Amino acid sequence: MNRPRVILTARWPEPVEAQLMRRYDVTLNLDDHPFTVEELKQAMRAYDAVCPTVVDPVTAEVIQVKPSRCRILANFGVGVNHIDLEAAKSREITVTNTPGVLTDCTADLAMTLLLMTARRAGEGERLLRRGSWRGWRPTQLLGTRVSGKTLGIIGMGRIGLAMARRAAHGFGMKIRYYHPRPVDPTLLEGMAAVACESIDALLPRCDFVSLHCPGGEKNRHLIDARRIGLMPAHSYLINTARGDVVDTKALIRALKEGTIRGAGLDVYENEPRLDPELTRLENVVLLPHLGSATAETREAMGWRVLKNLDAFFGGQAPPDRVV
Ligand code: DGY
């Protein structure tokens, strides 16, 4: 029997690629180049399973290509805002993702950004690297104390909760959160977390705000100039969710004018292109979408995709079906 044809749009951890190749007729992206729209369309035409990542715009145009062989889009990643789910549904293409396995590492990175921005770690490192450090001074690079402060979390799903636990248990932070649905109280035990009825109600009373909501049209510029204006002048914004959740121009203005004190960003509008103004600001820490970037997590994400493919081609419901 012919094995299903599977294509990966990026290099994956080696053990996962090897295992995939034992089970399927796999095409690897050996030079790890970003796929063009034409390559994505070609993948839809020629493969039973297409395995994209966050950088692949799997738009309606790509999905509606004819003829198409693709029956499953098995995404390597939890966020699926780069895939047109309605178009996939209408073509009866299954979409899966990789939830759970990247929760801890993404929350770790959000905490890293929070600490780095508060303690001006990026500025300190740049000072050393350019050879400008003249020694310890009582007033040099004074940051903001993190312990005991208030963290606002927008999106109290798995990653939001993991961030809340780190902040509450590790740093004694008070937690306020906004989530569009009620959160199971057992998940909040030991945190004295306060639910806010709206984002507007949350923002004015936080020292730090961390975003953990999905991207996509619904949440585009959820944090816009007006909402940034609701944040206290001493507060910081952390984004490990998706770049388009924040209006970058409004954020830059706020950082320049001191409407807020700083920001820590791992994700950007129009990734990987960065607004050049961001790179000129000292009060922002910039990372290149590293949320899930640990060897352990990236391998676990790969195994999760494999599990979804095995279930799908074995005639079972894939465990992480989105559509
Ligand atoms: C995710 O899984 O959504 C990460 O941001 C990488 O895509």
**Residue identifier of the C-alpha nearest atom 2 of ligand 1:** 77
What local confidence, expressed as pLDDT, does residue 93 receive?
Answer: 98
Check pLDDT > 80 for residue 1: no
242-271: average pLDDT: 98
Of the candidates 131, 104, 74, the residue with the CA atom closest to the CA atom of residue 320? 74
Greatest Cα-to-Cα distance within the chain, rounded to the nearest angstrom: 73
pLDDT, tens digit, 9 for 90 and up, residues 223-233? 999 999 999 99
- Cα separation, 5 vs 49, whole angstroms: 6
**Which atom of ligand 1 approaches the CA of 97 most closely?**
2
pTM above 0.85, yes or no: yes
Could you tell which of 53, 54, 58 is best to mutate to test the pocket of ligand 1, judged by most ligand atoms within 8 Å of the CB? Answer: 54
Q: Name residue, tokens 């740093």.
A: 171
Per-residue pLDDT band for 116 (boundaries 50, 70, 90) equals very high
Per-residue pLDDT band for 235 (boundaries 50, 70, 90) equals very high
Q: Name residue, tokens 């590492």.
A: 105
CATH domain 5-101+295-313 topology: Rossmann fold (3.40.50)
> If 0-12 CB within 10 Å is exposed, 13-18 middle and 19+ buried, where does residue 37 land?
middle
Check pLDDT > 90 for residue 192: no
Query: Would you say the CB of residue 291 lies under 6 angstroms from ligand 1?
Result: yes
Answer yes or no: same fold for 5-101+295-313 and 103-286: yes
272-281: average pLDDT: 97
238-259: average pLDDT: 98
- Cβ atoms of residues 320 and 111 within 8 Å: no
Could you tell which of 78, 108, 298 is best to mutate to test the pocket of ligand 1, judged by most ligand atoms within 8 Å of the CB? Answer: 78
Is 271 annotated in the active site? yes
Q: How high is the mean pLDDT of the chain? A: 98
**For the chain, how big is the Rg over CA atoms in Å?**
21
Q: Ligand 1 centre from 298 Cα, in Å?
A: 10
Q: Which is the catalytic residue, given 120, 158, 212, 242?
A: 242
- Cα separation, 207 vs 153, whole angstroms: 11
**Residue 76 contacts by C-beta under 8 Å, 6 or more apart in sequence?**
8, 10, 12, 51, 52, 53, 98, 301, 302, 305
pLDDT, tens digit, 9 for 90 and up, residues 145-182? 999 999 999 999 999 999 999 999 999 999 999 999 99
4-24: average pLDDT: 98
**Which atom of ligand 1 approaches the CA of 54 most closely?**
7
Task: Spell out the domain ranges in the chain.
Answer: 5-101+295-313, 103-286
Which CATH architecture does the domain made up of 103-286 adopt? 3-Layer(aba) Sandwich (3.40)
Q: Which is the catalytic residue, given 158, 289, 298, 304?
A: 289
Query: Would you say the CB of residue 99 lies under 6 angstroms from ligand 1?
Result: no
Query: Would you say the CB of residue 292 lies under 6 angstroms from ligand 1?
Result: yes
Is 181 annotated in the active site? no
1-26: average pLDDT: 97
128-154: average pLDDT: 98
Per-residue pLDDT band for 100 (boundaries 50, 70, 90) equals very high
Q: Which two tokens stand for residue 250?
A: 């409004």
